[in-house]
Chain A
Amino acid sequence: MSLPVRSATVTATCLALTVGGFAALMIAAVTGGGAAPDLAWSIPWIPALDIALAFRLDGLSLLFGLLITGIAIVVLTYAAAYTRDPAKRIRLIGLLTAFMVAMLGLAMSDDLIVLFIFWEMTTIVSFLLIGFDHTNPTARRNALQGLLVTGLGGLVMLAGFIVLGNAVGTYRLSEVIAAVPGLPTEVQTAALLLVLAGAFTKSAQVPFHFWLPNAMSAPTPVSAYLHSATMVKAGIFLLARLHPAFSGHELWFPLLTAFGATTAVWASVQALRQSDMKLVLAHTTVMALGTLTMLLASSEPVAIAAALTFLIVHALYKSTLFLMVGAVDHSCGTRDWTALGGMARSMPLVAVTAFLGAAAMSGFPPFLGFIGKELKYEGALALTNEPSLVAAAIVLANAMMVAAAGIVALKPFLGRPSGPLAQPTRPAPRMMVWGPLTLALLGLLLGLMPDRLAGSLVQDATVAILDRPYEMYLALWHGINLPLMLSVVTVALGVAIYLALPHLRLIAERIARALPWRADSAYDRSMAGILALATGLTRVVQPSRLTLHVGAVLAVFALVLVVGLWAAPPELPALGIGDVTAWEAAAIVLVAGGAVGACVTRSRLAALTALGATGTGLTLIFLTQSAVDVAVTQFMVETLIVLLVAAVIPRLPRLAPDRARRTPGYWLRIALAGGIGLMVFLLMLGLAPPVDRTIPAYYEAQSVPGGHGRNIVNVILVDFRALDTLGEIIVVVVAALGAYALLRGSRRVGKDAR
């Protein structure tokens, strides 16, 4: 079986899966006969925690599902042509498909925990895809950044989900949503803030936006699919899904409006600064996400419908443009629009794609983008508070989008070639040209027949969010009204920005430079801070000298003992020297003699032998207490310890001679050791008298009938508390393997050093 054959099989399988999913969703959409589908399916998963693999297909998840699978068809075919290397192609196609499955699961889950798991799956697959080029340190760094930012947000969101689940008493999403408005206000507030952290990090709202432009180190099909059309919309999806639960909360509107507006405006300034077309598109994606967040702040049906229409529009044109840029990059070897020009002649189809995509992005009629933009204005103007502010922010962001569309569609293809790079060196593969063109044409088609598919999809999704009937009508021509006038203003403003681009870029650059700090470098600093903290802490708690390490452990132990004995002084029984048996006397002599000997001697071997004597004394004590099992085990352990240490001793340095006495901590160490000895002695005295017999009595009674054995110790080990024993042997083995790896590792390092 050769690799190319396998790669073809993998591609075909993944593509079939995608097309199948798309077809199934289409059937669900069409057979509804105008009514929104509402299919639910669930099996118990963790019944003890009331978690079920519950899925639900309603208008909102259908809209997302169609976008996820539909764009995946184009992206997968594109990706198959994008990578020549079969091994890489398998990885890329496989990961993209895994991502699609995760995203579908996310859109359809009806259980908060299941939703969270799919959410994290998209984060992890995104990590693998951003770092796809894993030999490139920048790609690895950016992948880690995306993982940490969205992963941290995800964890905070999980906390919010748990708050919700505990407060409502179930994790079933549909029930939670219905119950949230009835919860106490402070619970609602806590849950809202926690969940928003997840949504805002995933959907790259300022100040968590910086990971998204950095994620552009992923291959182009990944940027088109994950980081513009689908994954970054997961946060938007969550906002839409939880809209009925939280939109009544007093913080919902101000938070979403503030974050959305800041993000949209800030990202548009950033977009103009970039010369890499992928980065221009990435920043306009952030801008679009801000706009979507802003629109979802409202509870007006027309604003929700505007958000959902814009979601479709954006997914279509943004993936089109990303894939188009990938084709240009493939042919010319650069994505820098300042270096490109006049390529319409040599790449006519790619140029047409770019023009179509840019027209949709700018919101020209008769594209769906135009309808989306009109709806946005209508939605913004329908807001109950601050309509003019939101409308102004959207007009500004849209004008910037017109200019950005000009950058990626006009600059590279019109004008005169500005250098040798502007000449395509190799033609783009057919699939890399036709795929994006299909998406662009789809945007046009949906705009020409707005109420056929997009209209009913958006209406069903809006109804699913608002849970009340809503009749919407998507049309190209609404008559001359305020939204249309705003559209004209937008285009005029956009053209003006485009024409003034060189000046504006200088200004944008100056603004960016003038900022006291940037989110990206703040991330770097906090990462460096965490590492420095960890290193510092390790230096304190695990110094390289074993004596200091042991000293710290003993000091803490002594402190606990002193505090404990001081807080609750034990009643000391009278010491009866007279009733010590000969065996006990022998044991005491061995233990005490061994301890003193180990302290006094200056030879490690002698110290080892002395400790062995102590251990043997302990064994004797166990024997006198008729704990034969413990005694035998203790004896074996002592033997093996002597063997182990004897094997190590030849390689240890000699014990430091008299000099040790002059080291500063010498008397402190003696005080510590003596103090601990005294404390333990007092503690044992306090504990010695009557032992509580309840537990031993239980085991004595149960050993034979319950465990079929007379040796209580062993019955406890292998039967009553077998799970503990299993854990312990695993610890023994893992510790041994760890030591093995350390010893082997140190040897290899030594060899390399030589």
Chain B
Amino acid sequence: MNSIILKAGARMLSALLIALSIYLLLRGHNEPGGGFVGGLAAAAAYALIALSAGWRSARRALPLDPRAIAMLGIGVAVVAGLLAALTGQPFLTGLWWKEAGLPLGTPLLFDVGVYLAVVGGVLTLLFAIEREA
């Protein structure tokens, strides 16, 4: 798409969208948001880059192949579950460390896994369709 306005705007907008997606992910446990919505927002950000600057640049803006990101997401989620299993509790039991002053816990790690799996999955699909074109 040849629109200067879109090109100039997309760069800033996509950065904003990615920041928003991470914000959605982190606040999700207490406010509306979470890994799933966050992941969708991040995918939308890359789709915006792709629409303005082409699919190649969108792919280059990603640190990893989307398929690898998706697999990584599942891996992170499984690890989050296994941490509880290692301490002898049932798989996927939530563990919390409130000592650091922040409410950190395995559910957050699990949500990060969901986020990555969704970004990876959606982008795998989008890029595959586009490359096929």
Please give the residue numbers on chain A whose beta carbons come within 8 Å of chain B beta carbons, in ascending order: 628-629, 632-633, 636-637, 639-640, 643-644, 647-648, 650-651, 707-711, 713-715, 717-719, 722-723, 725-726, 729-730, 732-733, 735-737, 739-740, 743-744, 746-747
A639 to B47, CA, bound (A): 10
Determine whether the beta carbon of B44 is less than 8 Å from that of A640: yes
Given A732-B117, A737-B124, 5 further pairs, Cβ under 8 A: A637-B40, A647-B133, A718-B107, A726-B74, A740-B128
Binding site secondary structure of chain B:
helix
Please give the residue numbers on chain B whose beta carbons come within 8 Å of chain A beta carbons, in ascending order: 24, 28-37, 40-41, 43-44, 47, 51, 67, 70-71, 73-74, 77-78, 81, 91-92, 94, 96, 103, 105, 107-108, 110-111, 113-114, 117-118, 120-122, 124-126, 128-133
Determine whether the beta carbon of B126 is less than 8 Å from that of A643: yes
Identify A708's interface contact among B29, B51, B73, CB under 8 A: B29
With contacts A729-B77, A729-B117, A732-B117 taken as known, whether A743 is within 8 angstroms of B71 at the C-beta atoms is no
Determine whether the beta carbon of A718 is less than 8 Å from that of B34: yes
With contacts A633-B37, A633-B40, A736-B124 taken as known, whether A711 is within 8 angstroms of B132 at the C-beta atoms is no
Determine whether the beta carbon of A636 is less than 8 Å from that of B44: yes
Question: 29 A-B contacts, Cβ less than 8 Å apart?
Answer: A632-B32, A636-B37, A640-B40, A640-B122, A643-B47, A651-B133, A707-B29, A707-B94, A708-B29, A708-B96, A708-B105, A711-B30, A714-B33, A717-B35, A717-B114, A718-B114, A719-B107, A723-B81, A723-B91, A725-B114, A726-B74, A729-B74, A730-B117, A732-B121, A733-B124, A736-B70, A737-B67, A740-B67, A744-B132
A633 to B21, CA, bound (A): 12
- Chain B residue contacts of A736, Cβ below 8 A: 67, 70, 120-122, 124-125
Identify A746's interface contact among B130, B132, B133, CB under 8 A: B132
Determine whether the beta carbon of A718 is less than 8 Å from that of B103: no
Chain B nearest CB: distance from A344 CB in Å? 65
- Chain A residue contacts of B103, Cβ below 8 A: 708
A112 to B111, CA, bound (A): 43
With contacts A726-B78, A737-B67 taken as known, whether A732 is within 8 angstroms of B107 at the C-beta atoms is no
From B41, B120, B129, residue with most partner A Cβ within 10 Å:
B129
The 8 closest A-B pairs by CB, nearest first: A636-B40, A709-B29, A729-B117, A736-B121, A628-B32, A736-B124, A714-B34, A718-B107
A651 to B129, CA, bound (A): 11
Determine whether the beta carbon of A707 is less than 8 Å from that of B33: no
From A648, A736, A743, residue with most partner B Cβ within 10 Å:
A736
A646 to B128, CA, bound (A): 14
Determine whether the beta carbon of B121 is less than 8 Å from that of A726: no
Q: Closest residue of chain B to A717, judged by CB?
A: B34
A737 to B112, CA, bound (A): 20
A710 to B24, CA, bound (A): 14
A723 to B128, CA, bound (A): 29
With contacts A640-B43, A736-B122 taken as known, whether A711 is within 8 angstroms of B70 at the C-beta atoms is no
A630 to B132, CA, bound (A): 32
A228 to B81, CA, bound (A): 49
A136 to B124, CA, bound (A): 38
Identify A722's interface contact among B34, B43, B81, B117, CB under 8 A: B81
Chain B nearest CB: distance from A61 CB in Å? 37
With contacts A629-B37, A633-B37, A651-B133 taken as known, whether A729 is within 8 angstroms of B113 at the C-beta atoms is yes
With contacts A633-B37, A718-B111 taken as known, whether A733 is within 8 angstroms of B125 at the C-beta atoms is no
Determine whether the beta carbon of A633 is less than 8 Å from that of B92: no
- Chain B residue contacts of A640, Cβ below 8 A: 40, 43-44, 47, 122, 126
A640 to B119, CA, bound (A): 11
- Chain A residue contacts of B125, Cβ below 8 A: 644, 736, 739-740
Chain A nearest CB: distance from B18 CB in Å? 14
- Chain A residue contacts of B44, Cβ below 8 A: 636, 639-640, 643
Identify A733's interface contact among B40, B71, B105, B130, CB under 8 A: B71
